[in-house]
Amino acid sequence: MAREPDNEDRAVEALVARALRGVPEGSEAWEAIYALHRRGGEAVFAAASALLRSRLPRERARGADILAQLEQPADVRSRAADRMLPLLLEEQDAQVLPALIVGLGHLGDARVPSAIAPFRDHGSPRVRSAVLLSLLKSFGAEPLSVLLPFLDDPDEGIRELAMAHLRLLAPEADTLALRDSLVRRMDDGSPVLRAEAVLLLAQRKDPRTLAPLRRALRRSRVRQEFVEAAGALGDPSLLPALRALEGQRQDDRPFTHALAQAIAALESAP
């Protein structure tokens, strides 16, 4: 005889229903998912596992979203990995795969990096982006070795994501492979990526940034990254170009602050 649902079952069912409601990235849905994460327990684990077996891609994706970050029971991470890893071999939907891959990255399971590696060259940018985020979460991951291949991804959004994470690293994170990748990005089709590549190279005192900086600082509208890069590179020959920018964009406080700092840095340069 089937067990009658108790209050816990009904509460979990209500939260799962909210998690499936509306647009996938809506705040109401994610508030419900976060509540399920905090609640944890066998009822939530069972509900998320059932969603993973659904015929509907949206429900399978939500099952991964829920299962990947449960806070209890104590062995939930290894059990969640046991449920989710085999699904990588059969899942085809480009909506579900990112949820599975990112979710697996939260689990800290040693099996994950090799399991998601085949998706590095997947045709969907969403899937490749999920691989990047998942690998960065992997235990013992070396950020540079993870990020560099994605700097050359054909999708601009993924290149920007990799660059954003590179900006979080200290300038001491410095290799020839990194510099060469950044040099390639100085010719990127995205002006944002071009500017950030120059900045990151300048922070590493790479002389290949000097000529691009001279050109960039003469433009009618100078990006703040180029001003910061001039100060980071420390070449006093850029001082006249920086001083020519004084008095401009007085309403742009971050820009004027960066400009003052860059001029001060070059004035004190040996």
Rounded to the nearest 10°, the torsion over CA 179, 236, 211, 262 is 70
Whole-number pLDDT of residue 5? 57
| End-to-end CA, the chain | 84
Report DSSP state, residue 142. Answer: -
Rounded mean pLDDT of the chain? 92
- What is the percent of the chain with per-residue pLDDT over 90, rounded to a whole number? 84
Q: Is residue 1 scored above 80 in pLDDT?
A: no
Cis geometry, peptide bond prior to residue 24 (ω within 30 degrees of 0): no
Separation of alpha carbons 55 and 252, rounded Å: 52
pLDDT in tens, 186-236: 999 999 999 999 999 999 999 999 999 999 999 989 999 999 999 999 999
Separation of alpha carbons 233 and 95, rounded Å: 43
Length of the chain: 270
Give residues with Cβ within 8 angstroms of 44, minimum separation 6: 12, 36, 66, 70
